[in-house]
Amino acid sequence: MRQPNHAKFGQFSRMTTGFTLIELIIGVVVLAFAFSLIATLIYPQAIRSAEPVLQVRAANLAQAFIDEIQAKAFDENSSQSGGDLRCGETGAPPCSTTLGPDGETRDRFDDVDDYHQLQLTQPNLADVLGASLADDYRGFSYAISVCYSDVQGTCSSAVTTFKRVTVSLATSQSQDFVFSYVKGNY
C-alpha cells in the first residue's frame, strides 16, 4: 500500500516544484508569437481608424463650399435678383466666356464662376463670412474649379446653360476627395 505524502516544512513534493525550463521557453515563444501577431494585424488598423472621421469632415467642408456656391447667380451677366431674362437668352447679355473672379475678393463673389481656381490651405481656410476654419480642419486644403458643361457634367469649351463646379479636398493624411455638381442657368 502506498504511503501518504506528508511534506515537512522546507520540503516539496515532486508535484509542487513549478515549471521546468522547457515549459518556460515554450511559454515565452507562444507569447512572443501572439504579440507579434497582434502587432502586425491590429496596429495597422488603429492607424486607419481616423479615416472615417476625416472622410466625414471632408464631406462637411465640401458641402459648406457647395452650399455657398449654389447660393450665387449662374453668371455675372445673369440678373442677380431673379429677373425674367437669363444670360444668353434673346434680349439678355451673353453669358461670360471668361471664368474666374472679376477682380473681387471671395467675400464679394456674386456668381458661380468667380470661384474658379480658388485654392486655400490651412491655416488660411475660412468660411464665407471670413471666420477661420483652421482649427477645425487642420491639414486640410481645397481647390475649386468651374467649367461650362453639358447635362452629364462633361466640361465643354463652348458656353452652355450649365456649369460644373468641382471641389477637390485633401486631408491631413493625404486622402483626396472630389465633389462636383452641375448648376443650370435658371
pLDDT beyond 90 at 139: no
The answer to whether position 97 is within a domain reads: yes
For residue 66 the three cell numbers come to 457647395
Cα separations in angstroms, 57 against 66, 133, 136: 14, 12, 9
The residue type of 165 is: V
Q: What is the pLDDT of residues 110-135, one digit of tens each?
A: 899 999 998 887 677 788 788 888 88
If asked whether residues 144 and 79 sit together in one domain, one would say yes
For residue 133 the three cell numbers come to 476654419
For residue 101 the three cell numbers come to 473672379
Comparing 100 with 30, the larger pLDDT belongs to 30
If asked whether residues 152 and 122 sit together in one domain, one would say yes
If asked whether residues 75 and 113 sit together in one domain, one would say yes
The answer to whether position 79 is within a domain reads: yes
Contact 178, 144 (CB under 8 A): no
Q: Which domain holds residue 37?
A: 20-46
If asked whether residues 28 and 94 sit together in one domain, one would say no
Contact 146, 159 (CB under 8 A): no
